[in-house]
Amino acid sequence: MSNSIEHDYIHENVVNLVKDNMINDEKICDLSDFFKIFADSTRVKILFALSKSEMCVYDLAKVIGSSQSAVSHQLRILRNTKLVKTARKGKEIFYSLLDNHILTIINQGLEHVEE
Amino acid sequence: MSNSIEHDYIHENVVNLVKDNMINDEKICDLSDFFKIFADSTRVKILFALSKSEMCVYDLAKVIGSSQSAVSHQLRILRNTKLVKTARKGKEIFYSLLDNHILTIINQGLEHVEE
DNA sequence: ATAATATATGTTCATATATTCATATGTTTA
DNA sequence: TAAACATATGAATATATGAACATATATTAT
What's the pLDDT tens digit per position in B45-98?
999 999 999 999 999 999 999 999 999 999 999 999 999 999 999 999 999 999
Distance, C-alpha B65 to centroid of its chain = 21
| CB atoms closer than 10 angstroms to residue A31 | 23
Q: Is B55 left (phi over 0), alpha (psi -120 to 50) or beta?
A: beta
Residue-level pLDDT at A6: 40
State mean pLDDT over B8-21: 88
Cα dihedral across residues B27, B29, B32, B33: positive or negative: negative
Q: What are phi and psi of B98, to 5 degrees?
A: -75, -40
CA B79 to chain A, closest CA, distance in angstroms equals: 15
Interface subset of B 11-70, CB within 8 angstroms of A: 11, 14-15, 17-19, 21-23, 25, 27-36, 38-41, 43-45, 48-49, 52-53, 55-56, 58-59, 62-64
Q: What is the DSSP string of A87-100?
A: EEETTEEEEEES-T
Question: Mean pLDDT per 10-residue run, chain A (115 residues)?
Answer: 45 95 96 97 98 97 96 98 96 95 94 89
Alpha-carbon separation of residue B12 from A11, A22, B16, B42 (angstroms): 63, 50, 6, 44
Q: Which of B17, B91, B110, B113 to mutate to test the interface with A (most CBs of A within 10 A)?
A: B113
Using the CA of A76, which nucleotide's C1' is the nearest one?
C8
| DSSP secondary structure code for residue B23 in this structure | P
Question: In Å, what is the CA distance from B18 to each residue of A16, A50, A67?
Answer: 51, 9, 17
B8 CA to C2 C1' distance (Å): 20
